[in-house]
Amino acid sequence: MSNIISTDIDESYPVAGQDNDSQGFRDNFAVIKNSLATARSEITTLEDNTAKKVEDNDFHNNEIQRAVLVQTTEKVLSTAAGSSQTLHWTYGPYQDITVSDDLTLTLTSWPEAGTVGKLRVVVRGDGVKDHTITFLTTLGNNILKNSTFTNPFDALSTEAPKVFDFWTIDGGETVFGHYLGEFVL
């Protein structure tokens, strides 16, 4: 609710056809000036703290409830990697890596405990030769994995990317890994 006060303005002042005391002008002017200052403060707060349609928004871990999402997408990060690569959860939920050498992939920058952080990783070989790929976590913990997940593994070609899902609910203390498979045309 706005704190702008317009009801204190004397709309009947000045009275037409008579000599009016200047105090009425000053009183009305003071109310208008205070209301403009309040409006400026409220508009600045809105500009600083509301979502914008034409720029990126950071909700600072505030919850969004009862939302219906239609036609939403997720960010994709595609990158080439040499001998080591850090996969930051903060860079986006889908990361596509093309490798050109044996590679260590480190999973890091997970969200705080009590929230779920998910990351899909697609690993492609360069089509030149086999490369050994190893996943690590920054906290040194083992990745809890499903039975088809092997670590390390070989990336063989660009035509058959290997796809993995990782997630954590405790800030990266425990990272679950699920090997989804090797996908071919």
pLDDT of residue 185: 75
Is this structure's pTM higher than 0.85? no
Q: Which residues of 57-75 are buried (b: 16+ CB within 10 A; e: fewer)?
A: eeeeeeeeeeeeeeeeeee
pLDDT of residue 142: 76
Report domain extents, the chain: 1-60, 76-182
pLDDT of residue 160: 87
Q: What is the pLDDT along the chain (185 residues), one digit of tens a residue?
A: 888 887 888 888 888 888 888 898 899 899 999 999 999 999 999 998 899 999 999 888 888 899 999 999 999 999 887 778 889 999 999 999 998 889 999 999 999 999 999 999 999 988 888 889 999 877 767 789 999 999 999 887 777 899 999 999 999 999 999 999 999 87
Q: Which residues of 6-45 are buried (b: 16+ CB within 10 A; e: fewer)?
A: eeeeeeeeeeeeeeeeeeeeeebeebeeebeeeeeeeeee
